[in-house]
Amino acid sequence: MTAPERSAPARRDPRPAGAQAPAGRGRAVGRPSLILIAPAVLAAALAVLPLGYLGVRALEHGPAFAWDVIADSRTGELLLRSLGLTAVVVAACLLIGISLAWLTVRTALPGARAWSVLVTLPLAVPSYVTAFTWLSAVPSLAGFTGSATALTLASFPYVYLPVAAALRGTDPGHEEVARSLGHGPLRTFLRVTLPQLRPAAAGGGLLVALYVLSDFGAVSLMRYDTFTRGIYTSYRASFDRTPAAALSAVLVVMTVLLVAAETRTRGRGGYARTGTGTARRAVPAALGRLKPLALAWCGAVVALAVGFPLATLGYWLAAGTSATWDPATLTTTALTTLGVAAAGAALTALLALPVGVIAARHRGGLAHLLEQAAYAGHAVPGITVALALVFFAVRYARPLYQETPLLICAYAVLFLPVAVAATRAAVLQAPPVLDDVARSLGRTPLGVLREVTLPLAAPGVAAGAALTFVVCMKELPATLLLRPTGMDTLATRLWTETGTGSFAAAAPYAAALILLAAVPSYLLGRHRT
Amino acid sequence: MNDRDMNELEVRRVVKAYGSGAPVLDGLDFAVPGGALAAVLGPSGCGKTTLLRVIAGFLKADAGTVTVAGRLLGGPGVHLPPERRRIGIVPQEGALFPHLSVARNVAFGLSDLDRSARRVRVGEMLDLVGLPGYGDRMPHELSGGQQQRVALARALAPRPHLVLLDEPFSALDSGLRGAVRAEVRAALRESGATGLLVTHDQQEALSTADVVAVLRDGRVAQCATPEELYHRPVDPWLASFVGDAVLVPGTADKDVATTVLGRIPLAAAPAGRREGLVLLRPEQLRLAEPEAADAEGVVTDVRFFGHDALVTVTVVGLDEPVDIRTTTPLRVEQGQTVGVRLTGEATLHPRTA
């Protein structure tokens, strides 16, 4: 699983059940128009199809057989390895993320602004690229250590970002009140500041857990057998694919539990924020004698997470010759990657549009159901979506098996949550009262959508499409399983070359991937500011 | 716009409940004569916004009818969608379309007209609200008051029968509010359209509208001209809601009430009611020399507002102190013994109310 798609789940507004009178303001009358519902139902159906089919397939040889697979000692071992890796990475990410957040936001750390940008850069690098750089430099890291290192350095920004935001958002007045009531700086931090950070830290930690549990690229390159790698091996090794389906079902259950937990902390996190508008910035704490230590810590993290991968990549690029890699193949692969990612982003954005509009503008059972269904991909690791689509295509849509359209569909299922969240947020930006005014001036609901809502939401929808484009480009496991024979994306090529130890041959693909993904990310950053 | 009498809003026995809760509108009756500007006034949660949305067609009433200019818009088996009602709305903060210029905002409801007719109408409307030549501006380039005036121009452009104004001035700062209010009122009057202003600000309702309807518990508690409402409220709650009220026990004899503070004529003498509470406004109480007055008391508090002041006086024979509005400069101070006289007319209400 690649990076930022996990970061954009449904942030829903709290809608107390009984208090409908004022909240009812601005909501459209009655049910959404059929012209919206029909495509939204199609999108939702596509999103839940793999999950449903996975269940069917896992139980094909009867529940007893599925249970045998699940109860197998090998499964237990995979489970322990996955959970162990998750626990270690989450703990490391919490330590790095919270300490860096506090240092960059609340202390007089020299160059705090520059540090705060540098430490988010790992988000742009897929976990398998990080794994590639470490493995190629220190081959003995393969296994647990390498997986934990690569995943920690790739995912700690998921803790850093929300905690830093929470630190910026907390009212320094609370801390001043605590100090005035006789608490020292440390007690104030422990009793006032830290409790306010808990929701943000917990939410970030759960995101990391989700990331680790569904990661395929890093663990497979590091040859560390977790659930995702076990599923892949089982799928490749055996003609009977029911065991792979059963294992996938277990993984889905685990991720669904995590997603549910994450949604809960999100809900509580909202209440932790106080006041409106920009909070007064706290006076930065002086670091005193600890300043060199703080700088060394930030420097070490940035060096390992950003500097080291870049340096390794540079080394292998310099070491490579035209004998080790072919520029023509690189160009073809890059163009192929751009093509499938663009198609994936376009389909995803199109499917997300009706769902996002309904989610933003309507309430009630149907709207809720459609939105939830579209978020199914959020809970399912890429490898299981790919497997489910393989099963489905082999049985019911043979001509699509190992053809590009199926791969595009997999992208849509996986990244529909990204696009729906962006569309919903963009539509919410257009105040519903504008819809009312347009209706009172003679527009039908569809006319309002065309002339008011969509023009206003267009920048946000486009940003969502750009984000989807980036995550499609970086996607690895589903592309590995579903690509047409002979077709390579930058990600699969990098994976294959690294797997055979041809590091110099892999490096150009890693560099191209980072560069191509950086352009839309850069544009997105500019769009947001 | 000669047929002013045709432009009339009639709301009859409208009921609206959300879910299974108590109804927000509970058999509400209300009418606005053509060409008038009416205000719907009420505390928050009284159903003002719900009423507005029922009239505009964004909500469907559970029962009752809404008629505008003799046309049934909503009733049993009838629910015209908002786009077919010909009712303009001016929401809070104007809600101009941010992606359209001022001219295109005003022209938004004019899709039936051809290009040149549209341009003419937009020009007329911008003249009407005092913003000629602003057509090419974007909404974010206007001040809050200008946005509000453009919003009115946009609502009036398609010649609606009725314009609904939903707390349109509450987002403006208080210095600007009065001026924008006057401009909007003048433009509305010139256009001849009937207006319905929803507000929780009693000063705004009294100073802007021709007719004020006070909403309470989903019904109209009283609908009258501002002056009638202020001086002849139907009950003490209403009296306190639209202004400061002084209630003292009194006895009515024909059309004169006798109280501890003196005798005062009654505006509407209810037949047969002898005992009750006499309702006065603080400005009907006058400070006087103790020997020249009907009652005597001690000043316990003085609140100075600049243009006037409220003097609290504990009067011998009354359980509650009374507030007296007096002009400034002040001639009294705390602890001083003063006399109290009454002027004007009062109303009498039963004690239980």
Task: Give the three-class secondary structure for B80.
Answer: coil
**Contact status, residue B305 vs residue B325, Cβ threshold 8 Å:** no
Q: Which residue has the tokens 């269904």?
A: A373
Interchain pair B82, A439: CB under 8 A: yes
Interchain pair A441, B53: CB under 8 A: no
Q: Tokens standing for A513?
A: 């991937």
Q: Is the dihedral of CA A478, A419, A524, A279 positive or negative?
A: negative
**What does the alpha-carbon distance between residue B258 and residue B253 come to, in Å, rounded to a whole number?**
8
Is A77 contained in some domain?
Answer: yes
Question: Domain ends where: A260, A294, A328?
Answer: A294
- Using 50, 70 and 90 to split pLDDT, how confident is the model at A399? confident
Does any CB of chain A come closer than 8 Å to the CB of residue B306?
no
- Phi, psi at A211, each rounded to 5°: -60, -45
Does any CB of chain A come closer than 8 Å to the CB of residue B80?
no
**What does the alpha-carbon distance between residue B198 and residue B213 come to, in Å, rounded to a whole number?**
10
Q: Which residue has the tokens 């930065």?
A: A284
**What does the alpha-carbon distance between residue B233 and residue B242 come to, in Å, rounded to a whole number?**
9
Is B236 contained in some domain?
Answer: no
Q: Write out pLDDT tens, residues B94-103.
A: 889 988 999 9
Q: pLDDT at residue A427 above 80? A: yes
Mean pLDDT of A168-184: 74
β-bridge partners, B248: B278
- Using 50, 70 and 90 to split pLDDT, how confident is the model at A280? low
Does any CB of chain A come closer than 8 Å to the CB of residue B339?
no
CA B92 centroid distance within chain: 16
- Using 50, 70 and 90 to split pLDDT, how confident is the model at B176? confident
What CATH number is attached to the domain comprising B128? Answer: 3.40.50.300
Q: Write out pLDDT tens, residues A298-347.
A: 999 999 998 998 899 899 888 876 566 788 888 999 999 999 999 999 99
- Four-point Cα dihedral B272, B273, B275, B280, nearest 10: -140
Chain B CB contacts of A437 under 8 Å are 89, 91, 95, 97, 151, 154-155
pLDDT (0 to 100) of residue B89 = 92
- Phi/psi class of residue B272: alpha, beta or left (left: φ > 0; alpha: ψ in -120 to 50)? left
- Domain interval for residue A421: 1-7+34-49+320-379+388-529
Question: Which residue of B59, B83, B97 is in closest CB contact with A439?
Answer: B83
**What does the alpha-carbon distance between residue B252 and residue B274 come to, in Å, rounded to a whole number?**
5
Is A480 contained in some domain?
Answer: yes
Report the number of distinct structural domains present in chain B.
2
Determine what percent of chain A is predicted with pLDDT higher than 90: 25
Question: Which residue of A437, A442, A447 is in closest CB contact with B91?
Answer: A437
For residue A377, count other CB atoms closer than 10 A to its CB. Answer: 27
Chain B CB contacts of A460 under 8 Å are none
Same domain, A339 and A224: no
Mean pLDDT of A386-393: 86
- Using 50, 70 and 90 to split pLDDT, how confident is the model at B299? very high
The residue of chain A nearest to residue B99, with distances taken between CA atoms, is: A456
Min distance A362 CA to chain B CA atoms (Å) = 13
Is A282 contained in some domain?
Answer: no
**What does the alpha-carbon distance between residue A336 and residue B153 come to, in Å, rounded to a whole number?**
54
Interchain pair B88, A456: CB under 8 A: no
Which of A176-185, B185-194, B295-304 has the least mean pLDDT?
A176-185
**What does the alpha-carbon distance between residue B123 and residue B102 come to, in Å, rounded to a whole number?**
11
Chain B CB contacts of A446 under 8 Å are none
What CATH number is attached to the domain comprising A241? Answer: 1.10.3720.10
Q: Tokens standing for A305?
A: 């997470």
Which of A276-285, B36-45, B130-139 has the least mean pLDDT?
A276-285
Output the CA angle B126-B132-B136, nearest 5 degrees.
90
pLDDT (0 to 100) of residue B271 = 64
pLDDT (0 to 100) of residue A273 = 40
Is B248 contained in some domain?
Answer: yes
Q: Which residue has the tokens 């692969």?
A: A333
Determine what percent of chain B is predicted with pLDDT higher than 70: 96
Same domain, B220 and B285: no
Question: Which residue of A21, A440, A452 is in closest CB contact with B87?
Answer: A440
pLDDT (0 to 100) of residue B2 = 43
pLDDT (0 to 100) of residue A9 = 35
Same domain, A64 and A165: yes
Same domain, A86 and A44: no
- Phi, psi at B116, each rounded to 5°: -75, -40
Min distance B55 CA to chain A CA atoms (Å) = 11
- Alpha carbon distances (Å) from B83 to A447, A454, B161: 10, 19, 13
**What does the alpha-carbon distance between residue B103 and residue B78 come to, in Å, rounded to a whole number?**
35
Using only the alpha carbons of chain B, give its radius of gyration: 24
Same domain, A228 and A169: yes
Query: b/e string for A35-47 if b means 16 or more Cβ within 10 A?
Result: ebbebbbebbebb
pLDDT (0 to 100) of residue B124 = 93
Same domain, A444 and A339: yes
Same domain, A523 and A400: yes
Which of A250-254, B52-56, B297-301 has the least mean pLDDT?
A250-254
Q: Which residues contact A481 (CB under 8 A, 6 or more apart)?
A: A232, A235, A383, A386, A387, A390
Mean pLDDT of A110-114: 88
Question: Which residue of B58, B98, B111 is in closest CB contact with A436?
Answer: B58
Q: Which residue has the tokens 């029911």?
A: A242
Mean pLDDT of B10-21: 89
Same domain, B218 and B276: no
Q: Write out pLDDT tens, residues B75-120.
A: 888 898 888 899 999 988 888 998 899 999 999 999 888 999 999 9
Q: Is the dihedral of CA B243, B248, B249, B253 positive or negative?
A: negative
Same domain, A256 and A328: no
Interchain pair B111, A442: CB under 8 A: yes
- Four-point Cα dihedral A353, A355, A357, A358, nearest 10: 160
Min distance B111 CA to chain A CA atoms (Å) = 9
Same domain, B216 and B251: no
Q: Tokens standing for A409?
A: 């569909």
Which of A68-77, A214-223, B138-147, B285-294 has the least mean pLDDT?
A68-77
Same domain, B206 and B273: no
Does any CB of chain A come closer than 8 Å to the CB of residue B163?
no
Same domain, A69 and A129: yes
Mean pLDDT of A381-400: 85
Which of A5-9, A82-86, A411-415, B332-336 has the least mean pLDDT?
A5-9
Chain B CB contacts of A18 under 8 Å are 19, 21
- Alpha carbon distances (Å) from A503 to A147, A314, A336, A373, B9: 18, 12, 22, 41, 80
Closest to B151 in 3D by CA, of B188, B178, B204, B182: B188
**What does the alpha-carbon distance between residue A251 and residue A228 come to, in Å, rounded to a whole number?**
8
Q: Is the dihedral of CA A71, A76, A77, A78 positive or negative?
A: positive
Same domain, A43 and A149: no
Same domain, B216 and B294: no
Q: Write out pLDDT tens, residues B268-282.
A: 766 666 788 899 999
pLDDT (0 to 100) of residue A524 = 65
**What does the alpha-carbon distance between residue A495 and residue A350 come to, in Å, rounded to a whole number?**
30
- Domain interval for residue B310: 244-349
Chain A CB contacts of B113 under 8 Å are none
Same domain, B153 and B91: yes
**Contact status, residue A32 vs residue A367, Cβ threshold 8 Å:** yes
pLDDT (0 to 100) of residue B210 = 93
Choose, out of A29, A362, A427, A437, the residue to mutate when testing the contact with B (most B CBs < 10 Å).
A437
Task: Enumerate the H helices of chain B as residue ranges.
Answer: 48-56, 102-106, 115-128, 144-156, 174-191, 202-208, 226-231, 236-242
Q: pLDDT at residue A279 above 60? A: no
**Contact status, residue A344 vs residue A406, Cβ threshold 8 Å:** no
Task: Give the three-class secondary structure for A223.
Answer: coil
Query: b/e string for B269-278 if b means 16 or more Cβ within 10 A?
Result: beeeeeebbb
**Contact status, residue B52 vs residue B110, Cβ threshold 8 Å:** no
Q: pLDDT at residue A454 above 70? A: yes
Interchain pair B24, A21: CB under 8 A: yes
Same domain, A353 and A486: yes
Q: Is the dihedral of CA B206, B208, B213, B215 positive or negative?
A: negative
Mean pLDDT of B122-132: 92
Question: Domain ends where: B162, B197, B231?
Answer: B231
Is A309 contained in some domain?
Answer: no
**Helix-then-strand count for chain B, H and E:** 8, 21
pLDDT (0 to 100) of residue B269 = 61
What CATH number is attached to the domain comprising B251? Answer: 2.40.50.140
The residue of chain B nearest to residue A459, with distances taken between CA atoms, is: B99
**What does the alpha-carbon distance between residue B325 and residue B312 come to, in Å, rounded to a whole number?**
9
Q: Which residue has the tokens 């997470």?
A: A305
Interchain pair A25, B98: CB under 8 A: no
Q: Which amino acid is at A118?
A: L
pLDDT (0 to 100) of residue A30 = 55
Interchain pair A440, B56: CB under 8 A: yes
pLDDT (0 to 100) of residue A10 = 36
Chain A CB contacts of B84 under 8 Å are 442
For strands B25-32 and B9-16, give the pairing.
antiparallel
Same domain, A242 and A367: no
Q: Which residue has the tokens 């505390």?
A: B43
Same domain, B171 and B135: yes
**What does the alpha-carbon distance between residue A325 and residue A313 come to, in Å, rounded to a whole number?**
14
Is B128 contained in some domain?
Answer: yes
- Using 50, 70 and 90 to split pLDDT, how confident is the model at A72? confident
Note which residues in 21-50 of chain B have CB less than 8 A from chain A.
Answer: 21, 24, 45, 49-50
Q: Which amino acid is at B178?
A: G
**Contact status, residue A296 vs residue A109, Cβ threshold 8 Å:** no
Q: pLDDT at residue A87 above 90? A: yes
Chain A CB contacts of B88 under 8 Å are 440-441
Average pLDDT, chain A: 82
Question: Which residue of B83, B91, B98 is in closest CB contact with A442?
Answer: B83
Is A399 contained in some domain?
Answer: yes
Q: pLDDT at residue A165 above 70? A: yes
Same domain, B175 and B296: no
Question: Domain ends where: B200, B231, B262?
Answer: B231
- Of B282 and A57, the one with more pLDDT: B282
Same domain, B57 and B164: yes
For residue B87, count other CB atoms closer than 10 A to its CB. Answer: 25
Same domain, B162 and B272: no
Task: Give the three-class secondary structure for B44.
Answer: coil
Question: Domain ends where: B184, B209, B231?
Answer: B231
Output the CA angle B264-B267-B273, nearest 5 degrees.
80
Q: Tokens standing for B168?
A: 């349109």
Output the CA angle B108-B110-B111, nearest 5 degrees.
90
Q: Tokens standing for A336?
A: 């192929």
Note which residues in 60-79 of chain B have CB less than 8 A from chain A.
Answer: 60
pLDDT (0 to 100) of residue B120 = 95
Average pLDDT, chain B: 88
β-bridge partners, B214: B41, B222
Closest to A158 in 3D by CA, of A189, A202, A190, A196: A202
Determine what percent of chain B is predicted with pLDDT higher than 90: 47
Interchain pair B45, A21: CB under 8 A: yes
Report the number of distinct structural domains present in chain A.
2
- Of A31 and A511, the one with more pLDDT: A511
Question: Which residue of A439, A440, A455 is in closest CB contact with B99?
Answer: A455
Same domain, A105 and A45: no
The residue of chain A nearest to residue B163, with distances taken between CA atoms, is: A440
Name the strand (E) or helix (H) holding A291: helix A291-302
Closest to B31 in 3D by CA, of B4, B67, B56: B67
Q: pLDDT at residue A285 above 80? A: no
Is B237 contained in some domain?
Answer: no
- Of A466 and A520, the one with more pLDDT: A466
pLDDT (0 to 100) of residue B224 = 93
Mean pLDDT of A471-480: 91
Closest to A150 in 3D by CA, of A197, A69, A215, A106: A215
